[in-house]
Structures are given as C-alpha cells and as structure tokens.
Amino acid sequence: MGEIRLTAESIQYIALFENMTRAKILDCIPEEERLVYVVKQGDMGLAIGKNGENINRVKKALDKPIELVEYSEDPVTFIKNAFGPVSVSSVNFTTKNGKRLAYVEVPNKEKGLAIGRNGKNIEKVKMLARRHHTIEDVILQ
C-alpha cells in the first residue's frame, strides 16, 4: 500500500460517511466538483444501501456528487474498480527507471469515458493507484 495522508477535511468526510452508512472507508479525496471515497473490500453494498438509499442520503447531506471505489489488495482489481463503469480489457505492469507503471487496455468506444471531461477520470485512477499501490502512472491503451 502506498502512503496515504488524510487531511482534517478528509477525516471529517470519512466520519460522516461511516456514521451515515456503517461502511468502512479507507480513503477520501475531496475535490472541488466531487468526493471520491475508497470503500473497504466487501462494504460496497453497505455504502450504497438498498436502492441507493445510503449513498443518496450522504450526497444530499454533503450536496456534492460522490464516487465510490471498492478497495482491493490486488492492484489489477483495484484499477478495474477505479475505472468504474468502463470495461477494462487488461492491466499490465512494467517498471521503467525504477517507477512502476500500469498499462490499461479499454475498448476504443469507451476511451472518452475512461479519460473523462478534462481528464478527471484518468487523473482519479492515477491518484488512487499511486496512493494505494505505489503505481507511478496509469497509461491507457
């Protein structure tokens, strides 16, 4: 696992989410336009709740869009989870100049979704991969 430093703001968001959903949160990245939570493996159902009740209650309380990523010890599974609805065909790792890189293959028709508006989706995946699995860069293929 990489090094995760939580800010006071992140800790407050985590406490609120855990209190409202009873799901265990491992990380929270507050961004201007959204909150990204890393949920403990197996707690995704609790985080979302029946018919999305839990996640919607938290969204309403915080008045911000929320993205959930389920944690996995396995970096391949974690990267696939971080891409969300995008179909990831394969994830391959290599080391260049002492840095660990992940090459991720996605279907051409889903590349736009994988990148996101202004690159926000791929940046989220890169940040999470760096924080949780010490992967320096994620490259789309």
pLDDT digits (tens, 9 = 90+) for 82-128: 999 999 999 999 999 999 999 999 999 999 999 999 999 999 999 99
- 66-70 and 137-140 as β-strands: parallel, antiparallel, unpaired? unpaired
Beta pairing, strands 90-96 & 99-105:
antiparallel
- Tokens representing 36 are 């990204």
For the domain spanning 8-70, the CATH number is: 3.30.300.20
- Which residues on neighbouring strands pair with residue 93, listed in sequence order? 102
Q: Where are the alpha helices (H) located in the chain, listed in sequence order?
A: 8-21, 44-48, 53-62, 75-82, 111-115, 120-133
Domain ranges of the chain: 8-70, 75-140
List, for residues 38-85, the tens digit of each pLDDT value.
999 999 999 999 999 999 999 999 999 999 999 999 999 999 999 999
Nearest CA to 30 among 127, 122, 119?
127
What is the structure's pLDDT at 5?
A: 83
Beta-bridged to residue 137, according to DSSP, are 101
- Report the predicted TM-score, pTM, of the whole model to 2 decimal places: 0.93
Count the residues in the chain.
Answer: 141
Query: What is the pLDDT, as a whole number, of residue 1?
Result: 58
Q: Give the DSSP letter of residue 33.
A: S
> 8-70 and 75-140 share one CATH topology?
yes
Is 104 exposed, middle or buried (CB count within 10 Å of its CB: 0-12, 13-18, 19+)? buried
Superfamily of domain 75-140: K homology (KH) domain (3.30.300.20)
Of the candidate ranges 4-13, 18-27, 110-119, 130-139, the one whose mean pLDDT is the lowest: 4-13
**3 pLDDT higher than 90:** no
The total of other beta-carbon atoms located within 10 Å of residue 48's CB is 17
Helix 53-62 vs helix 8-21: crossing angle, to nearest 10: 140
Assess whether pLDDT exceeds 70 at residue 16. yes
Residue 2 reports pLDDT greater than 80: no
- pLDDT above 80 (res 140): yes
d(CA 68, CA 38): 6
